[in-house]
Structure 1
């Protein structure tokens, strides 16, 4: 009985240590490279069905009442299959998330990114698109839409990277998804003086990522 109690206690202490250590990582000033590594390491755990679900402890919640220090901004689609906290195996306070259908970039989204960059000193912004994106699919198929849904499709149609594609074949859908990601990266950098300045002085990296639905793996696409 005593042995079982000690084993249980040891397991609990290890768990608490993992939670605390994960929380400690965000109190430092991470580099963009370290932030990318941390995201991809979490994604690897997710794809291998070995998530650790960090930063979900009672201590972590209490710590975050004093403020937040996310190490990355993730801009991604609203699709229910691509929740970034799950895909990158991150917890409370780790990533600053912005989600819209088709990861469309507008003034509200840009302002949200500027807040994370300017006030929270986040060193990395990753725009993540995904396989089978419904918003991109609606554009590619020329589907009729009305109301605000039409606004989303029209926004995708207006992207210069989308307009530049002159390709056909089995992979055409993925090419459009990746062109949309590239547009998001360019739009973030070019539209915001705050972000552009930080990119120029090396304090910020803006890059893309493409997620495969079949296995959940995120492939880095590009960086500024």
Structure 2
């Protein structure tokens, strides 16, 4: 059976799970032998989570979830390409997942490398450059006053802007996601995870996620 949660209910579950993680009072749900047997037949995740590949940002752990709860897609710097968008659409269109999460974090190496490329012209070697090339459009708009104005911004502000830009790109690129949002079947949230304290903060949202839908600056 498809997940019957609304986007607001799914967002509430993730907020509550992160609060447990931050306080060190995790419940470790959906990790029993019975749960393993249950999800061997089908999956009904409550959220598609698209995040950075950083080893310190393990989705199920920081939201205190378990087997079958999250449909996870990860790339370095949470950069989009067609296979990523297709994977997210799979979660929404075929698994009927009510929420898409774009999970950014502070201290992101991909964002830092994009900033270096913009300010010094230095680019990484090999295919790592493709990651940086996809982050640059997210932050270059902040430098309307030239490179100097970018230098005045801290890394956290750049990371939040990249998360916002990713949320908007998903809505703009995917007709399926846009339709699901307009029909109220799905919403997208952009979050920033703080490595030191484990807390997530909302930085962008599209669709109805209830009363806890006010992004931070």
**TM-score, normalising length from structure 1?**
0.84
Q: Does 1:214 align with 2:196?
A: yes
Q: Which residue of 2 aligns with 1:164?
A: 141
Q: Does 1:141 align with 2:116?
A: yes
Q: Matched residues in 1 for 2:9 and 2:198: separation?
A: 21
For the structure 1 residues 27 and 151, does the alpha-carbon distance in structure 2 shift closer, same or farther, using more than 3 Å as the test? closer
Task: Look at both structures and tell me which one has the larger radius of gyration over its CA atoms.
Answer: 1
| Gapped regions of structure 2 (runs ≥ 5) | 144-148, 207-217
For the structure 1 residues 37 and 171, does the alpha-carbon distance in structure 2 shift closer, same or farther, using more than 3 Å as the test? farther
Q: Matched residues in 2 for 1:184 and 1:207: separation?
A: 10
- 1:92: Cα distance to partner? 0.2
Which of 121-130 and 194-203 deviates more? 194-203
- 1:191: Cα distance to partner? 0.6
- 1:220: Cα distance to partner? 1.1
| Gapped regions of structure 1 (runs ≥ 5) | 1-25
Q: Which residue of 2 aligns with 1:92?
A: 67
- 1:214: Cα distance to partner? 1.1
Q: Which residue of 1 aligns with 2:131?
A: 152
Which of the residues 39, 45, 55 maps onto 2:14? 39
Higher-RCO chain (CA-CA 8 Å, sequence separation at least 6): 2
Question: Does the CA contact (< 8 Å) of 2:3 and 2:46 recur in 1?
Answer: no
For the structure 1 residues 109 and 53, does the alpha-carbon distance in structure 2 shift closer, same or farther, using more than 3 Å as the test? same
Q: Which residue of 1 aligns with 2:173?
A: 191
Task: Name the structure with the higher helix share.
Answer: 1
**TM-score, normalising length from structure 2?**
0.87
- 1:223: Cα distance to partner? 1.1
RMSD between superposed Cα atoms in Å:
1.5
Alignment of 1:53-64 (within 5 A): 53-64=28-39
Q: Which residue of 1 aligns with 2:52?
A: 77
Task: Tell me which stretches of 4 or more aligned residues in structure 1 moved more than 4 Å.
Answer: 168-171
Alignment of 1:94-113 (within 5 A): 94-113=69-88
The total of aligned residue pairs comes to 197
Q: Matched residues in 1 for 2:112 and 2:180: separation?
A: 34
Which of the residues 83, 99, 102 maps onto 1:127? 102
- 1:204: Cα distance to partner? 1.0
For the structure 1 residues 45 and 171, does the alpha-carbon distance in structure 2 shift closer, same or farther, using more than 3 Å as the test? farther
For the structure 1 residues 168 and 194, does the alpha-carbon distance in structure 2 shift closer, same or farther, using more than 3 Å as the test? closer
